[in-house]
Structure 1
Amino acid sequence: MPEENHSTVTEFVLTGFPGLHPQYQGLTSAVLFLVYLLTMIGNATILFLFATDRSLHKPMYYIILNLSVCDVLFSTTTLPKIISKYWFQSGTISFTACFVQMYFIHYLALVNSFILFLMALDRYLAICHPLRYSLVFKNSTVHILSITAWIVAKAIPLMMVIRAYPLPYCASNVINHCYCDHIGITSLACTDRAAYSIPAFVLAMIVLLGHLAFIVFSYSCIIIAVLKIANVQGRLKTLSTCSGQLIIISLYYFPRCFVYLASNIGITFSTDLRIVIIMLYSLVPPMINPLIYCLRTKDMREKSLWKRFNRTIVPKTQVSAISD
């Protein structure tokens, strides 16, 4: 069918998990709602601590702040719609809204990748070049790099939407996914999608693998630097500052690269398994990021979170002692 033909699709239908038995839909929606709630509470805690404690106004914590904002926006873009599908049987999404969701999903994913790149850069400079760290990696430097990331990341998703939106969608309007993504939408077009999907895939992989290549390089240098530390306790202490980031990076990059490659080189597996993998790497990191950084980051754990906990508990204890 020629591309000039107008689309006959006015809305899309999100299937969520296609193979999910109806008796488990209530449980699934409850789990998704819990994930969303924990994500909001955890990241709101990060934002609150940062806003009320000036001791956290350091380069690393500004990066964590950007990550929290990105996680909140991504979860809000994806989860409410799929929760409403199972709660209110509202799985339809308008044609335009689907493309808007697609844009923000890919945009925030790229911003997230930039932020993880900045985290790796922060650890690389702090461990491998400690004397230059305070001179090179200032708050102003983080602000500039963060703003640049939020602006530059707009280009690729916008190009993907501009190229995909005019395609003729005249057949099925069912998207086998929990949200609108580029592959899910363009696979429904009544035309050869290779001309549209391949350039988008190549650009996405260049960005993702470019960031991943630097992250691998930086942590390789960090490991070499750590091995040169004579004190075993010093090695463990230095590595502990990177462990949380390594967990998040592994959850973010490896499943995502696997799914992207599998979708474009012909590796096939069940739709439900694919969706479960995508939802895990999309939703688990935003939920556990606050836990990792609150518990494993010394300033946030001891100077901020614990201090506020003591302020809440101690007065109550004092009042109780006076009354006794």
Structure 2
Amino acid sequence: MQKTPFCLRVGHLLPYSMSDSNTTDFTNPSTFILLGIPGLETAHVWISIPFGTMYTIAVLGNFTILFIVKMDQSLHGPMYYFLCMLAITDLVMSTSTLPKMLNIFWFNSREISFSACLTQMYFLHCFSAMESGILVAMAFDRYVAICHPLRHSTILTKPVVAKIGLAVVLRSGILALPYPFLARRWPYCRTNIIPHSYCEHIAVVNLACADIRISSYYGLFDLFSVIGMDVFFIAVSYTQILRAIIRLPTKDARLKTFGTCISHLCAISALYIPDFFSSLTHRFGHNVPLHFLILIANVYLLVPPLVHPIIYGMRTKQIRGRLLRLFTHKDT
């Protein structure tokens, strides 16, 4: 059987080999089989321990952020509204993959229906793009707060914040729609075994016995239209922010103002650095074992939901203060 040497993921090239999977004679299966992490099946239980721990911390941390912002009226502002959007996005993105992944690791429950697979695929691409868009919105909030502080409350009103949030949701939802539709249109007649732990788009369509270049090209288009555009706008925002900081009269003022951006910069790093590392690994690590590539892809999905609430809990004085008061009140 001819090998398919490279597959385009959104932002990645994965060397899936069709010859690594068992083949059967059938047409369009009603279920797929997720292998988990191919080559590390015997270590699945051990791998599940850090993955399950990270997921638990991510869920508790993001729900804590949502609870604190809801309960504290002083946090009802643009920055914290965007933070709540980010927390919800992180929760949905991690929950769309981790429970099924842990089922594979713990109970060897590898079957997933075709419809459930396409649903998981849509949620993955939709909410990963949404997370990037929210970080752009947060960069705009920092730009207005630092470059136009006297007009912050009049520029970023609640209706404006709602419109920005709606725009981010619509963009992500619309751009993610072609993924399941493209996956559904291909005929699957060789195998129903997906060498992955979740239904990543190109891992699924690579099983099709058809020319899937449309799927590959759309993945590149989505990459440049979402991540490329978002990184550009974030870079423009921080260029203006740095110019405004440099013009401040004292070093203390510059450090204090820049300190208000640290949390957001850490959140950006938590999303884009693992993505960048994963992309480089998949593009240039042609001799890297498949199980390592799948591990990197899984960690990429877990790191932002885990790190974001920790970053904002530690770095944001209002949230940290509210959290301390909450625990102090319980202790007393």
Q: TM-score, normalised by structure 2?
A: 0.86
Map 1:11-26 → 2, pairs under 5 A = 11-20=31-40, 22=42, 24-26=43-45
Q: CA deviation at 1:38?
A: 0.6
The secondary structure found in structure 2 opposite 1:165 is helix
TM-score in terms of structure 1 length = 0.88
The number of aligned residues is 306
Within 2, Cα distance between the matches of 1:43 and 1:156? Answer: 26
User: Which structure is higher in helix share?
Assistant: 1
Instruction: Give yes or no for contact 2:121–2:200 (8 Å, CA) kept in 1.
Output: yes
Runs (5+) with no aligned partner, structure 2? 1-25
Give the SS at the match of 1:178.
coil
Is residue 130 of structure 1 aligned with residue 130 of structure 2?
Answer: no
Aligned residue type for 2:112: I
Query: What's the CA shift for 1:135?
Result: 1.5
Unmatched segments (≥5 aa) in structure 1:
1-5, 317-324
> CA–CA distance in 1 between the matches of 2:55 and 2:121?
19
- SS of equivalent residue, structure 1 residue 153: helix
2:174 and 2:52 mapped to 1: Cα distance? 31
Q: 1:114, CA displacement in angstroms?
A: 1.1
Q: 2:123 aligns with which of 68, 81, 104?
A: 104
What is the DSSP-based 3-state SS (H/G/I as helix, E as strand, rest coil) of the residue aligned with 2:196?
A: coil
Q: Is the 8 A contact 1:212 1:253 kept in 2?
A: no
For 1:146-200, what per-residue CA distance to the aligned partner results, in whole angstroms no more than 9, with x for missing partners?
1222223111111221122120111122222221111111111111111222123
Is 2:326 aligned against 1:308? yes
| Maintained 8 Å contact 2:270/2:308 | no
Q: Percent same amino acid among aligned pairs?
A: 37
Distance 1:94 1:81, change over 3 A: same
Q: CA deviation at 1:259?
A: 4.5
Counterparts of 2:292 and 2:324 in 1: how far apart (Å)?
A: 40
- Partner SS, residue 154 of structure 1: helix
Structure 1 residue runs of 4 or more that deviate by more than 4 Å after TM superposition: 257-263
Instruction: Specify the code of the residue in structure 1 equivalent to 2:33.
Output: V
> SS of the residue aligned with 1:12?
strand
CA distance, structure 2, for counterparts of residue 35 and residue 262 of structure 1: 23
1:239 aligned residue? 258
Residue 131 of structure 1, CA deviation? 2.4
Task: Describe how 1:145-224 pairs up with structure 2 within 5 A.
Answer: 145-224=164-243
Higher relative contact order (CA 8 A, sep 6+): 2
Specify the alignment match of 2:11 in structure 1.
Answer: none
Q: Secondary structure at the match of 1:93?
A: strand
Higher Rg of the two aligned structures: 1
- Computed over aligned residues only, the root mean square deviation of the Cα atoms, in angstroms, reads 2.0
Residue type of the alignment partner of 2:111: T
